[in-house]
Amino acid sequence: MKTLIKIVSCCLIIFQLTDGRKFRGNRADTEPGERMKMPYEPKSVFRLYTDSTDDTCTVELFKPHTLDACGFNSSHPLAIIIHGWSVDGMMENWISRLASALKSSEGSINVVIADWLTLAHHHYPIAVQNTRIVGQDIAHLLRWLEDFKLFPLGKVHLIGYSLGAHISGFAGSNLAVSGKTLGRITGLDPAGPLFEGMSHTERLSPEDARFVDAIHTFTQERMGLSVGIKQPVAHFDFYPNGGSFQPGCQLHVQNIYAHLAQYGIMGFEQTVKCAHERAVHLFIDSLLNKDKQIMAYKCSDNTAFDKGYCLDCRKNRCNTLGYDIKKVRTGASKRLFFKTRSHMPYKLFHYQFRIQFINQTDKIEPTLTVSLTGTLGESENLPITLVEEISGNKTFTFLITLDTDIGDLMIMRFTWEGSQVWANMWSTVKTMIPWAKSSRGPQLTVGKITVKAGETQRKTTFCPQTDEGMYIEPSQEKVFVRCEKKTQQKRRMMMRMKHD
């Protein structure tokens, strides 16, 4: 491990977490914000993505004929894609994929790629300093469009990845000096090193546009390193799978050694790229799979979300991830959580389970499985993870996700896997001792079961299909169905009789 850390430390300047104060600067003092009276020479290149296959056309500042030549339409909204730090000085493949997804999904939209590769292809701390220059370049472009084309800034959407997210913030704060406000900024896993813990003036923040959203996909520190910023930086901050781990992007020491051997200095980047870039692909997914929009839910942290506590949509506690997010400005940043699959389309369906166990005298290990049947299909057997033993009278809450929409819930099959040793022992006792056949062995007594579907907010209460259905023995499956009012009344009466 020590050898690995030395290799990574030597190879990648990005993770030299030097004192960020030396790179601070007042973003407000870069441009007075008055109407421009003299040309400004940008260090970034702005390429308008055209309708033809992956072609771009360069728009040059203060040269109006380039707007017309490239087909800029001032009646359409404008999205500007801003890439991040560059190790190899090459434009990454996701950029054209995102541009194409925006055009194919929205049609009437101007898509511009802000190319700052000449400033991004440096050691990471230098690239961080250069982000302020690029933010200034973009602010100048937008002022020019407003002055020359009367293009409203409310129709501008900056989409920035990694360092590009903070560039978006710097562009917004540049414009704010003259009282102008961008329409929207989307930060795709905003960069963490040299930005984590900084004040709102030194990074992307909700003050930088009328509406700001961010997707955090690689915030977990590994070997002391964190690629994406963990703190909230937007009106709505999304943390898929907790924001630190993404399915299909496992980071193991052996992976890093293999990538270092194969790619050299680029090896570590190849390993972490999957989770860091997942934010981009989640956003692309929201454009390409409109019928599979991901819902995310406000929660204090991922631990509480995993327990199923946070599937409430009242008072803007949930929102849609990606392009079609509901744009609600909030006083404080909202942290939203959700689970995904390992590949596109990433959407999963979330269910909160609440199961009550009654008068459990013996402590039982929580080895349970459940399967659901709905009006549109059924699920496979799903393991239930409970963090504590079942005893006494207790209600457990937990989260389950499904790949597909099974419709309105109708039937639930519940199985206590139990201890196989315990089950075999009781079976032997009943075989050897005849009078034991009529007595009960180890069992669970199930009380109230409710299931809430996050996506529809519908709650379903389940009752045993038979009167004996509430008693479950090891390795035994019991069927529960949607409760009718009469069934619920009968069930409550049986419970009272049992308690008496």
Radius of gyration of the chain (CA): 28
**Does the annotation count 162 as an active-site position?**
yes
Active site residue 276: yes
Which of 183, 193, 163 shows the shortest CA–CA distance to 82? 163
Q: Which helix (H) or strand (E) holds 400?
A: strand 390-402
311 neighbors 350 (Cβ within 8 angstroms): yes
Could you tell me which residues are annotated as the binding site for Ca(2+)? 203, 208
User: Locate tokens 């707007």: which residue?
Assistant: 67
**CA separation, residue 237 to residues 188, 372, 492 (Å):** 10, 32, 43
What is the spatial distance between Cα 140 and Cα 250, in angstroms, rounded to a whole number?
41
Query: Per the residue annotation, which of 44, 86, 162, 226 is the catalytic one?
Result: 162
Q: From the candidates 115, 189, 213, 285, which is the catalytic residue?
A: 189
Q: Which residues make up each annotated binding site?
A: 203, 208
C-alpha atoms less than 13 angstroms from C-alpha of 187 in its C-beta half-sphere: 39
Distance, C-alpha 174 to centroid of its chain: 29
Query: In terms of DSSP bridges, do strands 156-161 and 78-82 run parallel, antiparallel, or are they unpaired?
Result: parallel
**Which one from 276, 285, 350, 379 is the annotated catalytic residue?**
276
Return the H-helix or E-strand segment holding 295: strand 295-298
Q: Give the whole-angstrom CA distance, residue 338 versus residue 322.
A: 13
Question: Cβ atoms within 10 A of the Cβ of 113, count?
Answer: 21
Q: What sign results for the dihedral spanned by CA atoms 343, 306, 475, 373?
A: negative
| Closest by Cα among 270, 292, 337 to 88 | 270
> Active site includes 100?
no
Active site residues: 162, 189, 276
